[in-house]
A and B are shown apart, each in its own frame.
Chain A
Amino acid sequence: MTLATIFYAIGFPLLGIILGLLYKGIDRKISARMTSRIGPPIRQPFWDVGKLLIKETVVPENAVAWIFNVMPIVALASSMTLLLYIPFGIIKAPLEGYGDLVVILYLLTLQALAMAIGGFSAGSPFASVGAQREMILMMSYEMPLAIVITGFALIYKSFSLSTIALTPVWTLVGPVGWIGLLLLLAALLIVTPAELAKLPFDIAEAETEIAEGLLSEYSGRNLALFYLSDAVRSFAMVALEVALFFPFTFSQGFGLQFSEPVSYIIEGLWFLAKVLILYILAVTLVRTSFARFRIEQASRLFWTYVNIMALLGLILVALEVM
């Protein structure tokens, strides 16, 4: 038990929560500005979580109480663990060497699965419908996500994220591979809102039709945990995309060199800025400009178009590499 372990065990989750909530606040603010509103202050998500933690936690009469109470914790834990696998620019991932992209794929699934199980255990028709939709959506978007990760494994001959973050993927392939990678990137960007349950793929939590779906029975502390896990996962998912596709460091990009401690700080901030830009592009803009899909539309979109796109990208990458 070294000092670093303690820092990773306590500091990282706290950092993850703060960053996740901060990005959520920026996201809400920008979304409001896009619809020419003033929008809530950026620290609003912190107040929301604080309020939810103060409020009473209701467990419905016909819920399976222990599953109902455990699932928010599982969801938050899986998001936190996900964060521990992602390298922050040149700062190494805390759990580096203990898992790879496949584990990340599982952790991404685990959070959605926890929400679905929590929804089923709530014993409310709205929550059940939401949980079923979540399962269907999960089955649809897992395939393109897996294809993207396979493409990376083909290029690097490794599933390890730190190897991938070390050299930018664009330098390893030629022009054909670039087109393939662009297709993979597009597929991943389309999967992102579905993975994060944001519009236009928040079918499982549709407010207007099924009253927030699988979260409809959650309140107080449990809801706060889901809120936090959503915030942390949004950050982690976008950070993962940055680590996969845009691992360019500040010194590489601008040809500047710094001494040891300064460079860590600058690279960390550079990484956060990259994540913020991608977050706005992939989540905020999409969520503000599109209306919700129906479940079968979303399913068809993923199984046919996005899948074909991702497969095409994979074939092009494979042609280049083999």
Chain B
Amino acid sequence: MVDVLKKSIWVFHLNSGSCNGCDIEVLDVFTPRPDFERFGVKLVPSPRHADAIALTGPITRAMVPKVVEAIKALPEPKIVLAIGACACGGGIWHDTYVVVGGIDEFYKILKEEYGMDPPTTIYIPGCPAKPEALIYAAGILADIIKQKQRRREDVIREEDEEKRKIETIIREEIGSRHFLPKIIVKRGPREGSV
């Protein structure tokens, strides 16, 4: 029994403030040389038909509600392909004030403000992501290869959450001028004492 979900992937292309470099790459993988369609990947114009979102760009603040809408419009099960350095982690805009700065930061907003769990994500770095990288992503989607990536926990357990909060407070305190350092008096034999 073939897993049909992996054999036929329809992609909705969503530009969230990209410089157009990655968008052109997304389109040119459907041209004769890379030919994405042979993996059963098809570009569809409506998010309702799609199984995956090809997200390019660092997600500008103005785009956040629209990206959320698009992700909501996708019927389950859904995947996000973060295409390009920008979408993976902000790229050259990572600390610019107008952008959220990559899909991970966006997922934090998604979790905190919209209460949605982040969908499965495939990271395709590169500036712009090469067609070869996109074919690699198609391989990951079709379960031919595994993504080389360190495992990371997106779900934070409650006690860890508490601990982390306290740690953050302490760290902030240390950073501020009002923090009075606890003086640890070390007692021991001093040089030259009796």
Contact = CB atoms under 8 A, between A and B. Distances in A.
Given A55-B51, A207-B45, A220 B8 contact: no
A57 B2 CA distance: 22
A220 B50 CA distance: 10
Contact of B48 (A32, A41, A54, A219): A219
Given A35-B32, A51-B51, A55-B77, A40 B38 contact: yes
A48 B4 CA distance: 7
A58 interface: yes
A50 interface: yes
B29 to A, nearest CB: 11
A218 B51 contact: no
A55 B76 contact: yes
A56 B50 CA distance: 11
A38 B76 contact: no
A126 B46 CA distance: 10
A266 B7 CA distance: 34
A43 to B, nearest CB: 9
B49 A219 contact: yes
Contact of A47 (B31, B35, B40, B77): B40
Interface residues on A, range: 20 to 34
B contact residues, range: 20 to 34
Given A35-B32, A36-B32, A56-B75, A48 B8 contact: yes
B40 A44 contact: yes
Contacts of A44: 7-8, 40
Given A37-B32, A51-B4, A220 B75 contact: yes
Nearest to A37: B35
Contacts of A36: 32
Contact of B35 (A28, A39, A56, A216): A39
B35 A38 contact: yes
Nearest to A46: B4
B109 to A, nearest CB: 23
Interface in B63-88: 73, 75-77
B73 A37 contact: no
Given A28-B37, A44-B7, 5 more contacts: A32-B37, A39-B37, A55-B75, A217-B48, A219-B49
Interface of A: 28, 32, 35-41, 44, 47-48, 50-51, 54-58, 126, 207-208, 211-212, 215-220, 223
30 contacts: A32-B38, A36-B32, A37-B31, A37-B35, A37-B37, A37-B38, A38-B35, A38-B38, A39-B38, A44-B40, A47-B2, A47-B7, A47-B8, A48-B8, A51-B8, A54-B4, A55-B51, A55-B77, A57-B75, A58-B73, A58-B75, A126-B46, A208-B45, A212-B45, A212-B46, A215-B49, A216-B45, A219-B48, A220-B75, A223-B49
Interface of B: 2, 4-5, 7-8, 31-32, 35, 37-40, 44-46, 48-49, 51, 73, 75-77
